[in-house]
Structure 1
Amino acid sequence: MAEIKIGRMVLGVCQTNCYFLYREGAHETIVVDPADKGANIYSALAKNGFQVAGILLTHGHFDHIWGLDGLRDAANAAAEAEGGGPVQAYACEAERELLKSARMNVSEQAGRACETYADVYVKDGQEITLAGMTCTVIATPGHTAGGCCYYFEEAGILVSGDTLFAESVGRTDFPTGSMGTLVRSVKDRLFVLPEDTRVYPGHGESTTIGYEKRNNPFCV
C-alpha cells in the first residue's frame, strides 16, 4: 500500500497550520483544520488534483474553523456534480457547544463571528477511515474541553492541533480551557505514543513525541 504523506498550508491571521493527508499517488485527501478562506483551500487542492474526502477538526477555535463552511460547501458541490456522497466534517463530541458559539470559539472577539458544526461528532478511541487512511481519535481536553488529536498509526503521524507544540502547549485562558487538564492530556494520552511519532501541531514546526518528552518545559 502506498505511503501516507502530509502537506501543509499556513493560513490566516494566526498563521495556523492546515494539513492535508493523502496516499502517495492517490487523489483523495483528508483536510485537518481549515483555518481560513475555505474556497481557496479547495481551489489549491483541486489545482493539484486532490479531491476532499473529509475534514477533521482538532478543536473549534476561530483560527481553525473559519474556512470550514467554505471548504465543505465547495467539496460537496464538486462531489454532487460527480455523483459522489457528502463530504463530512468530524470533531470530538465535547466540542459541539464551542463550535456553535461565536463567543466561546473567540471568533466574535476576533472580529468575524463564526458559528458552525461538525457533521459527525466522535468519541475518544474511535477510528475514522477516509480515503483509505485510518486514524484514531485521542481526546486531549485542556486547550478546549473537546480538543482532540488524530493519530495515524500506520504512518507514525500525530496531528495535535493546539494541544502540543514544539517545546510548548496550547494556551488555556479561553472558554473551557484548563492548564492542569491540558498537561495531564499530554502526559497521559500523547507521551505514551512511540517516541518516533512525528507531531504536526496547529502552529509552528513539527516535532516528535520523544523530543517533547525530554524537552517540553510544560510537561516535565
Structure 2
Amino acid sequence: MAIIVEKYQLGMVRTNCYLIYNDETSEVIIVDPADNAKMIEQLIDEKNLNLQAILLTHGHFDHILAANELRDIYQVPIVAHEAENQILADPSLNLSIGMGGEPCIVKADRFVKDGEVLDLLHTKVKVLHTPGHTAGGVCYLFIKEKLMLSGDTLFEESVGRTDFPTGSMSTLVHSIKEKLMVLEDEIIVYPGHEGETSIIHERNFNPYIR
C-alpha cells in the first residue's frame, strides 16, 4: 500500500489543494478544496477514486470555496477544528467578502480536537492544533508515511500571515516550535501555498523559529 499525494494550485491566489489517496483501495481525501469543484470532481472520477472526507486546515476563503459543492456531490463530511467554526460561518472573518468576491459560508460536519487520530485511507492521521494564522488552524500528520499537511501554518522558510482575524504571530511561532519542530526530521511538509519542505529544513533555515 502507498499513500499518494497530488497537488493542484487553484483559485486567485494559487492555493494548494491536495488529493491524497490509497493506491490499493482507491479511497481519497481532499485537503483544502480551494476552488473549481468541477475540476476536482473530474480528477476524482477519472481516477476512479472513492472520496471519504474533505479536510480543512483552516477557514480562509481560498481554502474552502469548493467545499460545499463537493460535499453535496459526494455526500461526505467536511472536517475542521472546533475553534474554526466562527471563521467558517462568517464571510467577513474568512475573507470571502472583500478578498474573495462572493460571500462563502461553510458548516463543518465534524469538528476535531488537538491530538485526535483519524482513521483515513487505511492509515492514521493525527490532528495537530496549530493556532496563530487562525484560531482553529491545524496540521494533519500522516504518522506512518511521515508526511504532513501544514495549511498556512508553516511554509518553506516562512510562516503564515497573522494580520487577519484571530491571527497572532507569537501564538503561531509558539505552535510551530511546540507542535511541529519536535517532529521527526524526515517528515515532508506540504503547505497551503508554494512548494514542499521538511521538518529538518525548517528547523535549520526558517528565520521565524530559529
| TM-score bracket, shorter-length normalisation | over 0.9
Find the counterpart in structure 1 of residue 71 from structure 2: 72
| Kept in 2: contact 1:38–1:72 (CA 8 A) | no
Deviation at 1:128, TM superposition (A): 1.1
Distance 1:206 1:131 in 2: 22
Find the counterpart in structure 2 of residue 81 from structure 1: none
- The residue type equivalent to 1:48 in the other structure is K
1:32 partnered with 2:21 = no
Equivalent runs, 1:192-203 vs 2, <5 Å: 192-203=182-193
Find the counterpart in structure 2 of residue 91 from structure 1: 80
Deviation readout 1:97-132 (Å, 9 max, x if unpaired): 100000000001121210111100010000111231
1:103 partnered with 2:103 = no
Deviation at 1:29, TM superposition (A): 0.3
Can you give the 5+ residue segments of structure 1 that lack an aligned partner in the other structure? 77-86
TM-score by length of 2: 0.97
Distance 1:129 1:57 in 2: 16
- The residue type equivalent to 1:90 in the other structure is V
Distance 1:109 1:138 in 2: 30
Find the counterpart in structure 2 of residue 79 from structure 1: none
Deviation at 1:153, TM superposition (A): 0.8
1:142 partnered with 2:132 = yes
TM-score by length of 1: 0.93
| Kept in 2: contact 1:39–1:74 (CA 8 A) | no
Q: How many residues are treated as equivalent by the alignment?
A: 209
Can you give the 5+ residue segments of structure 2 that lack an aligned partner in the other structure? none
Percent identical residues: 46
More helix per residue: 1 or 2? Answer: 1
Deviation at 1:27, TM superposition (A): 1.3
Distance 1:208 1:130 in 2: 23
- The residue type equivalent to 1:135 in the other structure is V
Which aligned runs of 4 or more in structure 1 are off by greater than 4 angstroms?
Answer: none
Equivalent runs, 1:1-220 vs 2, <5 Å: 2-76=1-75, 87-110=76-99, 111-220=101-210
- The residue type equivalent to 1:89 in the other structure is I
